[in-house]
Amino acid sequence: MKSVFFSRFFILLPWALIVIIMIDIDSKKAIRAPGAGRTGKAQRAARTRAPGTGGPQNQTALPVIHAVTPTYTRPVQKAELTRLAQAFRQVPRFHWIVVEDSATRTELVARFLARCGVPYTHLNIFTPRRFKRTGMPRATEQRNVALTWLRQHRDKRDAGVVFFADDDNTYSLELFEEMRSTRGVSVWPVGFVGGRAYERPLVSGGKVVGWYTGWRPDRPFATDMAGFAVNLQVILANPRAQFKRRGSQPGMQESDFLKQITKVTELEPKANNCTQIFHQSIINK
């Protein structure tokens, strides 16, 4: 009985080995097949294209996102700018306008920007000392200098979006693809702001109808500085629109600026009708 089993085993063994070898050769061929090569290329294309745009496309046709970042000298400045640059570097068609609150452009920021890998413009303006008191709006002059630069260096032919990206916030890459389609003024929720876990525009039927916020919901536009984006052509078509010091109370800058260029009923809700949070503000007002 035992010898019958062994003779059958030894007859079948070579055949089993042949089958195993054939399967192995087959799977190696499949890896090198031209079909597999195409998958590799498609994967590479997917990696280089804009996140969230849904398919390969001609990136030079995308509107340029202009992010305005006021900044000032302090121990954590370079760390904050590094965090921003690491996100911005991954966004296609992006231009970073960094405005220092200083009498001259500092060497630290100049050197940082030259190596940051993001296309940029480096500006500066010193905030007059009388405005540097607690309770006063901050970075007003810096944002206005950036608006002036845009009006001088961009024109009707330039497709773009303008966004105010303070250096103490954290931005998800999805946010940039959301704001890129801004036709007038777009808005979205912001995390950790106004003393709440988040603030958001209240949307009904695809329109903004109010604001969920922990601080002065009676503001016409109760949004954070980085909770909105403006089409570049809206900035150019309203040459006098700017951030105000005179008559503006702290925390009213966003609202006072938006009043000059849009109406609440015209706002474009982004981030899935303002139900998703792509941007987090770490400071509380």
Ligand X SMILES: *[C@@H]1O[C@H](CO)[C@@H](O)[C@H](O)[C@H]1NC(C)=O
Q: Which of 174, 254, 266, 268 is catalytic?
A: 254
Taking the C-alpha atoms of residue 168 and residue 69, their distance in angstroms, rounded to an integer, is: 10
Binding site, annotated residues:
168
CB 277 within 8 A of CB 191: yes
Cβ count near 204 (within 10 Å): 10
**Interatomic CA distance for residues 246 and 137, integer angstroms:** 10
The two counts, helices (H) then strands (E), for the chain are: 9, 12
Q: What 3-state DSSP class applies to 28?
A: helix
**Which residue number, 41 or 133, has a Cβ lying nearer to ligand X?**
41
Cα separation of 69 and 41, whole Å? 37
- The binding site for Mn(2+) consists of 168
Positions in the binding site for ligand X (CB under 6 A): 58, 60-61, 205-206, 272-273
Q: Smallest distance, Å, CB 97 to ligand X? A: 23
Shortest spacing between CB 171 and ligand X, in angstroms: 20
Amino acid, single-letter form, for residue 74: R
- The SS3 call for residue 120 is strand
Pick 62 or 84: Cβ nearer ligand X: 62
Shortest gap between Cβ of 245 and ligand X (angstroms)? 37
Q: Is 254 a catalytic residue?
A: yes
CB atoms within 10 A of CB 150: 20
Beta carbon of residue 73, minimum distance to ligand X (angstroms, whole number): 40
Residue nearer to ligand X on the CB measure, 14 or 205: 205
51 or 251: CB nearest ligand X: 51
Find the residue with minimal CB distance to ligand X.
Answer: 206
Active site residues: 254
